Amino acid sequence: MLVTRNLKYGVIAIVLGMIAVACGADETATDDDPDTDDAEVEDTDADADADDDADEPDDDADEGAAGGDLIVGTTDAPTGLDPATVYDTNSSQALFNIGETLVGFPAGETEVAPFLAADLPEISDDGLTYTFELRDDVVFSNGKEMTSEDVKFSLERATNMEHPQGAGFLLAGIEEIETPDDHTVEITLNEPNITFLSRLAYTVGTVLPADGHYPAPDGPVSETGEDPDDFRQEEFVGTGRYLVEDFREGESMTLVANPDYHGDAPVNDRVLVQFFDSSSQLRLALEGGEIDVAFRDLAPDEQADLAATDGIQVVEGEGASIRYVVLNPNVEPFDDPDVRRAFAAAMDRERLIENVFQGFGEPLYSMIATGFSQYEPMFEQYEDAEPSDFIDEPVSITLAHETGDHYGPTEPSMAEEISRMLEESGMFEVQTDTSEWAQFTEESFPVSEDTHGAFLLGWYPSYFDADYYIEPFFSGGGFLGMPATDEMEDLIAAQQQVDDPDSEERHEIFADIQEIAVDEALIVPMLEETPVVFADEGVSGLEETMDVMQIFRYWLISTE
């Protein structure tokens, strides 16, 4: 189907004109495998030559944006714009476009590069102290020049707030931050951690101004007794490529190119992100020419139909997003490891991918995504087993999942398919329980005797390291709050403290971790999703941003 361009831009002109009248730039308003033979599908390659100059700051780039407006449709609405209070993919996508971190991942790259830092840091011989020299040409969207105090303030604020929906725990290894001068930051860790730079690249490390706009506790809220939400600030001020012109929670977000950005300008002037209530509405908007791009989340059957639609281009990215089931050992019958193993033996991943995801996925036999060299498919050992090999009589369980507003429309059907697998084994009687995301998370984790016994979750890459798929799940300090043995904690610490992230020693440690994980079966990996974006055939730049990091970089996408 060919898109009617004049109709589309008549719509955006009216919408953006109304928004421009309502508010000025920098103001934020908040209310809190398919048959694709006939379609051209482009696969991105992490090793392809990406336009790094468009992703990394360039002192000589001040030519301004190429022009044009971009309309992106999605069912994934951000839950907030305060980097210290969010850990969901939807909010992170927004923050990657409006804020910036000391280091980050250029498009198509899996190694960190300097962003707000002038260069990669000098690291002390003991691996504890990272010394960053900052760029001297960075200005916040409120006009304040960025200094080392802003970096110190931002990182300490995120860790001290300890927000339950935030990612401050990723920075918990920071012992001290010193600022010898305005453009030097020294970060000292309490123990070496080879993943530290990758963690800094996530949005929890977004640098904010230390000028009073963002309130912050004087110390960890667990010690001060304060409520982390008392320090939440949703009016975003940052250093990114875009300014937030308007944010209407659950409805839309309008971004305009930052004229004072220190690097290359976006290839568009303005981005309107429209949040849709359902995937069917998102699909109709793309087919009707109301939006340029549809990204996250369309139902699998809608993806298959769009892939065969004339005038719609399809770009597949690389998978690093995983789906899995958590089995809470604090709740019967999952306090019995043999019940958990029986659950694992009942799973048919190929069937799940075919029946629920229409082929857009790959079986996953470890919590570590398949793109990592440390991936060991150890859950394959359950492929030839039956649940009756582990338990003698049927057990009754409840499988919980969110309604489908967070992970997309596949969640209910995924829960149904898993339930059928379990019941067909003859060893499980299954009921399902569903709730909205906020209630679901509250009732699921950290795991305890009062939370769900079995529940579905998904995981998207925040920093590119196999550790990201291990520590948050199997450490007692991770977000799930799983009970962890001393052996597991020691192994997690050991792989973080090696000198070479790809060393044979580290591979062996990860193999030991995965062996323990498959035996305990506290978490059962299911599949790795294939990310797909659909767009009008006149849109360019999608291939550059559909890499394994799955950061949807608006600044690389053009309609001209």
Q: Dihedral of CA 133/136/141/144: which sign?
A: positive
Residue 389: helix, strand or coil by DSSP?
helix
Beta bridge partners of 315: 42, 533
> Residue 144's CB: how many other CB atoms inside 10 A?
16
Q: What's the rounded Cα separation, in Å, for the pair 303 and 295?
A: 11
pLDDT of residue 297: 82
Residues in the chain: 560
Considering only CA atoms, which of 303, 331, 351 is closest in space to residue 531? 303
Distance (Å) of CA 13 to CA 7, 9, 272, 414 = 10, 6, 11, 40
Taking each helix axis as running N to C, give the angle between helix 279-287 and helix 300-307, from 0 to 180 degrees, rounded to the nearest 10.
Answer: 10
Beta bridge partners of 184: 133, 181
pLDDT of residue 158: 98
Model confidence over 191-247: pLDDT tens digits?
Answer: 999 999 999 999 999 999 999 999 999 999 999 999 999 999 999 999 999 999 999
Q: What's the rounded Cα separation, in Å, for the pair 281 and 291?
A: 11
Is this prediction's pTM over 0.75? yes
pLDDT of residue 55: 42
pLDDT of residue 47: 40
Q: Is the peptide bond prior to 333 cis by the omega test (within 30 degrees of 0)?
A: yes
- CA torsion 167-169-174-179 (nearest 10°) is 30
CB distance 120 to 112 below 8 Å: yes
Q: Where are the alpha helices (DSSP H) in 71-203?
A: 89-98, 148-161, 196-200
> Residue 151's CB: how many other CB atoms inside 10 A?
27
pLDDT of residue 67: 61
CB distance 394 to 426 below 8 Å: yes
CB distance 77 to 278 below 8 Å: no
pLDDT of residue 25: 38
- Name, in order, each residue with C-beta under 8 angstroms of 518's C-beta and a sequence gap of 6 or more: 366, 378, 379, 381, 382
CATH T-level fold of 322-529: Dipeptide-binding Protein; domain 3 (3.10.105)
Considering only CA atoms, which of 72, 33, 121 is closest in space to residue 357? 33
Q: Where are the alpha helices (DSSP H) in 425-485?
A: 437-442, 471-474
Q: What's the rounded Cα separation, in Å, for the pair 535 and 542?
A: 9
Give pLDDT < 50 ranges for the chain: 1-66
How many angstroms from the chain centroid is the CA of residue 124? Answer: 30
CATH number of 5-297+532-556: 3.40.190.10
H-run or E-run covering 461: none
Q: What's the rounded Cα separation, in Å, for the pair 380 and 217?
A: 47
pLDDT of residue 137: 97
Model confidence over 15-28: pLDDT tens digits?
Answer: 444 333 333 334 33
pLDDT of residue 531: 87
Same fold: 5-297+532-556 with 322-529: no
Q: What's the rounded Cα separation, in Å, for the pair 249 and 316?
A: 29
Q: What's the rounded Cα separation, in Å, for the pair 6 and 1?
A: 15
Structural domain boundaries in the chain: 5-297+532-556, 322-529
